[in-house]
Structure 1
Amino acid sequence: MPDVAQAADDTRQGLIDQVKSHQKASSGFQKTWHAYCDAHGDGVYDPARHKVQFLEEFLKTAATKNADVKGSKRKRKEVTCSGSGSAASRSRSRARRRRRHGKGRRRAHGRRHRRDRRRRDHRGRRRRKLRRKRRSESSGSSEVSDLPSRATAIKGAERAVAAAAEELERLKANPDVAVDEPALQQKQKEEMKVALQALQSEAEADVQAQVQEAKDKLAQEKVSRMIEAEEKLDQAIAERLKEAEDKLRQEAQGRIDEAQKQAQARLEEIMADAKPKIEASWADQIKDLEAKAKAARAAANAFTKKE
């Protein structure tokens, strides 16, 4: 018995590894697996959580689809090969027509040929780039968690509840039927556990996304508020500087006016004090001049009398 159980486990593990390796190798296989799980496996993408029968049926279905695709490709190739003779004859007729035409036509054809070749090269580069992009996407998507979507998990839970309700109704309708209640309860518990795990994982993902969105929004709001605060601070500083400059200008102008008034008053005071002195000095000088003039006249009179 242990050998049989070990063989069954090895078979199941081999099927699981086969499904995982095919998913990593081909994005189309991965899409087929997800679609099959959504349709028949309650949206559970992890192969380790499915039974051997489920995995075998999926691999048979995938092999059948692959064979159909290969057959269609082979048919298209045969059709292409069968039409190659007519293409060759057309190319020969075109060559004959080109030879009949002159050098100008050959040059024009050469230009068209080079242009078509550039276009083909461009299309080839685009196709290669697109293939590389798809490969990178497929390799990146293979590392994505095998958790089902929320809608699929809800549908799976609803199906499990409906199946349990049907089983309960059947038991109520046929109470005499012998039922393995522990096994049934265990099965229902496992189904509910799977559904609850899927819902829990989806809820955690939603919470993390909302938290990240809130963090990003707070960071953006913080940056915008900091910018707004800096602008307001610059504006307030400019206003204060302008007010201080106007105040200093007013104070300086007031001091200049006051100094001018004081200087004018001092000048008037000095002039008022100097005016009597100037007048007195002028009177003394006038008296001296009159005395000198009088002495000169007396000397002149005396001189005239002597003669």
Structure 2
Amino acid sequence: MKTNNSILFSIHNIYKDLTSSERKVADYILKNPLDVTDITIEILSEYCKTSISTVSRFTKKLNLENFYQLKLLIAKEFINPSKINSSNIENLDFNNLQTYSDIATINANILFKSIEEFDEERFEKVISSLSQKKNIYLFAMGTSGTLAVEAWNKFTRLGVKCFFTLDFHSQLLQASILDENDVAIIFSHSGINKDILNLVDTIKKTGAHTIGITNFSKTPFETSVDICLSFFNSYNIQNELTGLVSRVPLLLVIEAIYKTLGTKFYNEKLKDSYKEIFNKRSI
């Protein structure tokens, strides 16, 4: 883009020239800008009840190359609003061999920042809750679903009764039937997604304990759950938390929970059981 105006301002400028389907995309982005940074083009098209090609045409009308570029601009605007420079995004060379090094450096910086913000007291409360409850239920939507899948794999290996379904409508049904013997872990990248906040309200009515895992502090999500592990103040962080980098701190905390719970749950019986399964599957 050839202007220093915000991307949301640009959307407003072209709104009158959009088709009815493209306006659905514009309306969703204007109402949920930060959520867009954490979803795929396929998911956005589903939310807007339109097609992937419509979203692509919408990004072209903003003079952007693709949906990924749009997500970068939105992330830059919300996470580091004082340093918006859309010309930098336009000039990115996505085929440059330097890309790998840049991504690795950003992820390393994010990890070191997450160590500084780590709340040991909250982490201990999370471990205590998970150790005392009978069942663990995982909830997430969009790309955060990959975090829940990773957590399910880790916790199940410990012999913990852990449940997760990728379909969000099924998650809503599951959320309504929990009880005080259950603990719910809810993942949210932004901490402001309305659907996730409604889901938390549903869970809390059942008496189940709620644990939130998110990137950003001081959000409605953080205050809605019983315990929340968060890492960054969205107005201070200097790098765009999109793509892989948005999930790195959350994957790290899943691994930390897994290692800590392992000292409580893992035993020789489980070890022998997994060894037997592995031997049956191996040639």
- Report the TM range for the smaller structure's normalisation: under 0.3
TM-score after normalising by structure 2 = 0.18
Q: Report the structure, 1 or 2, having the larger helix content.
A: 1
Larger Rg: 1
TM norm structure 1: 0.17
Q: Which has the higher strand share?
A: 2
